[in-house]
Amino acid sequence: MAYREWKTFAGAGLGAILLAGLVGSAFADDALKLTELSPNGADACFGRVYDAAHLKAHPKQKVARIFFYYGHDPVSRPNEEPNANSDTSYNGFLTTTVRGAKAPEWAGGWCNHESEDDKSGPIRCGMDCDRTLASLKVDDKGRLILSDLSSDIYLDPDSEEQLGKAEYVRQALGSEDDNFRLDPMPVATCKAEFAWIDPIDPALGPPLRERFKPDQAFCYGRDYDAAHMSSHPDQLTQSIRVFSGSVELASYASGGDVANWPDGADIAVSVTTRRKGAKVTQTYSCQGEADQWRCAASSKMSDFSCDIAQKEIFLKRGANGTIMLANPNSSIAIIDLCSKAADGKTKSDDKVYRLEAMPQSACAP
């Protein structure tokens, strides 16, 4: 159930990742506080283009062009954050082009000092799924040293299993694609490099925060037939519904702030499994972050023996009116959320769902 449509906050055609815990956002008014990278507070560009001689001498390096942009999004795109937080943004952007590629790939994240006061120490750029985009430091010549670049930065966390080892190795970066030394360059150079990137797929349509309204119910779901279940023996989910109904709308009306929609929005997820025919429903409280809704399990409707707020799912736009739901860390009630079976990453084939719009009656309690 892992679909290639689930992407990073990156251009269409790039590798996918399951979106999970986010590193704290940086706001526009303090996004450029890293004076090592930007002494005057302006956007900054670093890059390097490797010549044929270098690449011949380093056969395990796939990256032929690499640029790092510190500042405001050089490739503006729709996001799920509230209009009131429209200044919220990533402040670090990496783009690489490997040998023979027709276009670059890219990813964005938040760059901050790792110290408690966020004013000193190493600089780490974090990204979705609590992954590291890169570690940064500037040498005495003003060059940016970029390290800790993961070879699978543009791929799904389970890509090796999904693609097979040979294809995974082909798509991943090379073993020498790390510890880059990048030269300071004009901002226009980075913007031109990012301009190569394909635009967002128009089939995705507007953000969910525009598609769904604070005072309107919605229902999405999928019922898996016998043929699908037979071909996916490790999938537990027989049917699934994601919805906002009268209870969820009333909850938002009583305590939500429309100016900050979708932050504070409640949704419900109902599932039946191949093991149990009885429907189980769990409520989640959501907030918009980057191009997803991040939804934490809520105990509003029932009591739990554990802190289920740590259980999170993620919603994103899918193509042609669908939505995608990611369940990377056993956070859907196909199992007891407080059991040992729910510890860690999702072990069954219930990680990503593509859901279609349904009549509201299909999501009735």
Q: What is the pLDDT of residues 267-286, one digit of tens each?
A: 999 999 998 888 999 999 99
Q: What is the pLDDT of residues 29-38, one digit of tens each?
A: 444 689 999 9
Q: Which pLDDT belongs to residue 77?
A: 63
Q: Which pLDDT belongs to residue 89?
A: 58
Q: Which pLDDT belongs to residue 132?
A: 87
Q: Which pLDDT belongs to residue 301?
A: 65
> What confidence tier does 1 reach under pLDDT thresholds 50, 70, 90?
very low
Q: Which pLDDT belongs to residue 199?
A: 63
Please give the mean pLDDT across all residues of the chain: 85
For the cut 90, the answer to whether the pLDDT of residue 352 exceeds it is yes
> What confidence tier does 22 reach under pLDDT thresholds 50, 70, 90?
very low
Q: What is the pLDDT of residues 281-325, one digit of tens each?
A: 999 999 998 789 999 999 876 667 788 888 999 999 999 999 999
* Percent of the chain scoring above 90 in pLDDT: 60
Please name the residues in contact with 192: beta carbons below 8 A apart, sequence gap of 6 or more.
none
Q: Which pLDDT belongs to residue 225?
A: 96
Q: Which pLDDT belongs to residue 329?
A: 93
Collapsing DSSP to helix, strand or coil, 258 comes out as helix
- For 115, the enclosing helix (H) or strand (E) is none
Alpha-carbon 189 to chain mean position: 27
Domains and CATH numbers, the chain: 26-199 (no CATH), 208-363 (2.40.128)
Gap between the Cα atoms of 257 and 255, Å rounded: 7
Collapsing DSSP to helix, strand or coil, 338 comes out as coil
Please name the residues in contact with 330: beta carbons below 8 A apart, sequence gap of 6 or more.
311, 337, 341, 342, 343, 344, 345, 346, 347
Mean pLDDT of the region 40-61: 95
Q: Which pLDDT belongs to residue 198?
A: 62
Q: Which pLDDT belongs to residue 85?
A: 56
Mean pLDDT of the region 180-186: 97
For the cut 90, the answer to whether the pLDDT of residue 231 exceeds it is yes
The strand pair at 237-244 and 265-273 is best described as: antiparallel
> What confidence tier does 82 reach under pLDDT thresholds 50, 70, 90?
confident
Contact 26, 89 (CB under 8 A): yes
For the cut 90, the answer to whether the pLDDT of residue 99 exceeds it is yes
Phi, psi of 203 (to 5 degrees): -65, -20
Contact 272, 239 (CB under 8 A): yes
Q: What is the pLDDT of residues 107-139, one digit of tens each?
A: 888 899 987 776 778 899 988 767 789 999 999
Largest pairwise CA distance in the chain: 66
